[in-house]
A and B are shown apart, each in its own frame.
Chain A
Amino acid sequence: MTTTSTGAERRNYLNASEGLLSWLLTTDHKRIAILYLISVTFMFFLGGFFAAGVRLELLTPRGDLLEADTYNKFFTLHGVFMVFFVLIPAIPAILGNFLIPLMIGARDLAFPRINLLSWYIYVLGAAFTIVAMISGGVDTGWTFYTPYSTIYSNSAVLTAGVGIFITGFSSILTGLNFIVTIHKMRAPGLTWFRLPLFVWAHYATSLIQILGTPVVAVTVLMVAAERAFHLGFFDPRVGGDPVLFQHLFWFYSHPAVYIMILPAMGVISELVTAFSRKRIFGYPVVAISSLSIAVVGFLVWGHHMYVAGQSAYAGMVFSFLSFLVAIPSAIKTFNWTATLYKGSISWQAPMLYVIGFLGLFTVGGLTGIFLASMGLDVHVHDTYFVVAHFHYIMVGGAIMAYMGGLHFWWPKMTGRMYPEWWARVSAVLVFIGFNATFFPQFLLGYLGMPRRYHAYVGEFQVLNVFSTAGASVLGVGYLLPMVYFLWSLKYGEVVGDNPFGAKGLEWQTSSPPPVENFPEQPRVTEEAYAYSESEVGHA
């Protein structure tokens, strides 16, 4: 992606230097964000390809399209690519990278070279995983449960494990960079409680990245060591405990869900205020709820093991805490809704994504209550109910917010507007397609269809056909933006610095921003989202 300028233009981060090398060796957080955008988008469509294979196979009850082993590799690769290479980095590494320095009035992240390093680590990890995909694939499920992954699987578990291990450090370094940047590089006057909620959300996310990711890294390392060197951590034949793996794995992987959803919540806070031109309702509550989600989120991992033979009392503690962690999310949802009250609400595409997010996230959150309920989870655990629930959170929540954010900040990143009409079409398609795909899966799950089934009993077919049909609409909904975003790079309307009339420091610099972000050190004299005091209008 090189400069798209026509005629003489202001110098900005895109046209400041040219050539591939100037991108590959850049330390500009904005260019690194673009590098991430390209690589994450690539991984997204790769993961999407495997999702399409899975949905097509499930059109019929019999396993007729793919071999059983191939199907198992498809859902594994879909999960691995989407979780570790799309959902976890998407908002922090793309939007966070681009926006945090701009939002806090800094010239860059604290450690620009480490930032670039983390992108290279991501690419290296992705390369390993893609090699695993080519050299036979992986068939363990993205959860890598032992002893299947350590002893029985004949697939490229080791290579994929190394890929995930490596990528973990990309996430850790990004989190480290954010924490230091947010602590040390805020513009004069930008106190903690004047920070945009996007920044708060990323601060909470970074804490999880720092404290959670190393645990999964060492866990994957133990699995790799068990496969490669026959060390026995989880091997029941030498007295190892396969359930210990689950504890270590979920100690990270449950908080990892918050790595995905907290930044999404940050995006929603920015968009809700910008498109209703109103202060966020209950700023401190929304800010602190991010932190409380991050903290309590570390204490709920055991709710993945209600049927794995853990003691009923341990289960009760985990259940109790899981119910507690639902509260801050509910509070946020109510605050966003209240923010709309008496606003000046625009129906532009990013706002459609916000409305979609609020609907889908609410469903995802409420069905989380079902799963936190011990007695009920026994029935729906490892069924399509769980699959539907986490897609509502991760895709309906995180990806909807990511898409909304990408539209919103697209003119800031590129200087050009996306085509509004097409963007609205795509937002509506994604919303409809998503619900058609995943809502039937709640019903399938309660009826008892287990997840990761290559073939299934005939009575589940009708709902599966609905789901596959919905997935095709969803696929079109995701392909459209790919096309019109690329189109807009050349033909999109050149817009001013602040086409949405939004507050926030990032809108006060030019679009695209200059290399040093701000020609002068900005000073902050007011709270975030000060829409109501002043006249609003186009910049």
Chain B
Amino acid sequence: MPEAALQHGHGEEQADGHAQTHPRFAHHFESLENQKESASLGMWVFLAQEVMFFGGLFMAYILYRNLYHGAFEYGSHLLNWKLGFFNTIVLIGSSVTMAMAVHSAALGQRTRIVGWLLATILLGSVFLGVKVVEYTEKFHHNLVPGETFGLPYEGMDPHHAMPDNMRRPTQVYYSLYFAMTGLHALHMIIGIPILAGIAWFAHKGEYSARFHTPVELVGLYWHFVDIVWIFLFPLLYLIH
């Protein structure tokens, strides 16, 4: 995230002189290079924070999985692994388009940056759309934790009714499911407008081969969000 030069000191110029004329150069840094490195380090530190943020939920998942092995198996059977798999492919695809956007930025190809970013936004939206479908289904199937959790619903195959003695621990599983996928989705919902903003700036020609740090940083963020899903998908949908 670049910072504008707000307090430009008077009467002095940077010792390393000529290079510091880029419009996005923030003057409290020693050089544009220094600014890029700082921004990139900042992003990595931010991602370390994100790892710990999800880490709390992963801890809870591991603990309860050990406690309620059967319920977790049962709960994951109720998820639609095909939709999950489709979403995994979509998200990996969006990582590829994101990487292409960063690559284009490094080459200074303005229109290509915009194109790849729009593709990333599209794939991200497809992912969220599928998520909405899944959530809606869970809602109709009484799989949202609460009073009605696990109760029969209209149009249900009676053979698939949730046994009464599975309702409680399965509810723990679904609490984790919604918390983990919900927070992941929230990260994407935050990411998409940022991608759109970056695309707009790219369209305006803000980025060049020499300065395209924002594209790189949002790329890091996007890849991180993908990696979280790469962990979530098998943990929630696949392993029994």
Binding site for B on A (CB under 8 A): 27-28, 106-108, 110-114, 172, 175-177, 179-181, 183-185, 210-215, 217-219, 221-222, 225-226, 229-233, 237-241, 244, 247-248, 251, 514-516, 519-521
Contact = CB atoms under 8 A, between A and B. Distances in A.
Nearest to A518: B9
B55 interface: yes
A214 B53 contact: yes
Given A27-B6, A179-B41, A214-B50, A108 B59 contact: no
Nearest to A215: B56
Nearest to B182: A225
Interface string B1-23: 10110111111100100000000
B48 A240 contact: no
- Top 4 nearest A-B pairs (CB, nearest first) are A516-B9, A214-B53, A231-B175, A107-B28
11 contacts: A110-B29, A176-B49, A211-B49, A213-B49, A218-B56, A229-B146, A231-B179, A241-B67, A248-B56, A251-B56, A521-B12
Nearest to B41: A180
A524 B9 CA distance: 20
A229 B178 CA distance: 10
A215 B9 contact: no
B89 interface: no
B162 interface: no
B168 interface: yes
Interface of B is mostly: helix
Contact of A180 (B38, B64, B183): B38
B31 to A, nearest CB: 11
Interface string B26-50: 0111100010011001100110111
A516 B11 CA distance: 11
Given A176-B45, A214-B49, 13 more contacts: A28-B7, A111-B1, A111-B38, A181-B38, A215-B53, A215-B55, A222-B56, A231-B175, A233-B179, A239-B67, A239-B171, A240-B172, A516-B9
Contacts, number: 151
Contacts of A519: 9, 11-12
A229 B50 CA distance: 23
Interface of A is mostly: helix
B52 A222 contact: no
Contact of B179 (A222, A237, A238): A222
A515 B48 contact: no
A251 to B, nearest CB: 8
Nearest to B4: A113
Nearest to A178: B45
A238 B9 contact: no
A214 B41 contact: no
Contacts of A240: 64, 172, 175
B60 interface: yes
Interface of B: 1, 3-4, 6-12, 15, 27-30, 34, 37-38, 41-42, 45-46, 48-50, 52-57, 59-60, 63-64, 67-68, 71, 144-147, 168-169, 171-172, 175-176, 178-179, 183
Contacts of A183: 38, 41
B48 A211 contact: yes
A238 B45 contact: no
Contacts of A244: 60, 63
Contact of A212 (B27, B52, B178, B183): B52
Nearest to B34: A184
A184 B38 contact: yes
A400 B4 CA distance: 37
B49 A515 contact: no
A248 B59 CA distance: 9
Contact of B29 (A176, A185, A241): A185
A521 B169 CA distance: 63
Contacts of A107: 7, 9, 27-28
A515 B7 CA distance: 7
B147 to A, nearest CB: 8
B172 A233 contact: yes
Contacts of B183: 218, 221
B45 A210 contact: yes
A539 to B, nearest CB: 22
A365 B161 CA distance: 58
B45 A179 contact: yes
Contacts of A248: 56, 59-60
B178 A231 contact: yes
Contacts of A247: 59
A28 B7 CA distance: 8
A217 B71 CA distance: 27
A244 B68 CA distance: 15
Nearest to B71: A239
A116 B16 CA distance: 29
B145 A111 contact: no
B27 A239 contact: no
A374 to B, nearest CB: 23
Given A180-B42, A215-B53, A520-B12, A108 B168 contact: no
